[in-house]
């Protein structure tokens, strides 16, 4: 099931990230992984470049709320930070390769936690 978050608002002061929401505000690790695999190097780089400068602000923002009790707009923002966690190694370590270089077929690796939200 695709649980893409369709609403578009982010918390105040994060408006500049709004355009990334439809593509990258993904609620589960499986969705974020699939999005990364199916993105081009350019798309990964653009996402990384847009979110990295705001990462610490995002993490400070989500810590205003108790664990797992984020309002919808903050949760949406948080899932974009989680997407950055998924994407970062590909920019920082794998020279922009959307796949893990020299790796086992990712589609054969089953994550038991893969469909958990958050």
Q: Which residues bind another protein (CB under 8 A)?
A: 29, 52, 55-56, 59-60, 62-63, 65, 67-68, 70, 78, 81-82, 84-86, 88-89, 92-94, 100-104, 106, 108-113, 118
Least gap, CB of 68 to another protein (angstroms): 8
20/95 Cα distance (integer angstroms): 22
- CB of 49 within 8 A of CB of 40? no
Nearer to another protein, 23 or 30 (CB): 30
Please state, in angstroms and rounded to a whole number, the distance separating the CA atoms of residues 109 and 53: 32
Of all helices (H) and strands (E), which one includes residue 98?
A: none
3-state class (DSSP) for residue 109: coil
Q: Residue 118 CB, nearest distance to another protein (Å)?
A: 7
Q: Judged by CB, which is closer to another protein: 15, or 106?
A: 106
């Amino acid at each position: 099931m695709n649980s893409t978050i369709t609403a578009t608002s982010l918390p105040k002061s994060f408006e500049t990230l709004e355009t990334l929401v439809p593509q990258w505000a993904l609620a589960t690790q499986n969705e974020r992984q699939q999005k990364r695999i199916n993105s081009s190097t350019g798309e990964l780089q653009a996402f990384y470049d847009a979110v990295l400068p705001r990462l610490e602000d995002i993490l400070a923002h989500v810590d205003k709320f108790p664990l797992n009790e984020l309002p919808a707009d903050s949760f949406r923002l948080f899932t974009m930070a989680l997407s950055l966690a998924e994407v970062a190694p590909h920019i920082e370590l794998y020279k922009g390769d959307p796949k893990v270089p020299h790796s086992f077929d990712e589609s054969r690796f089953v994550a038991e936690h893969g469909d958990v939200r958050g």
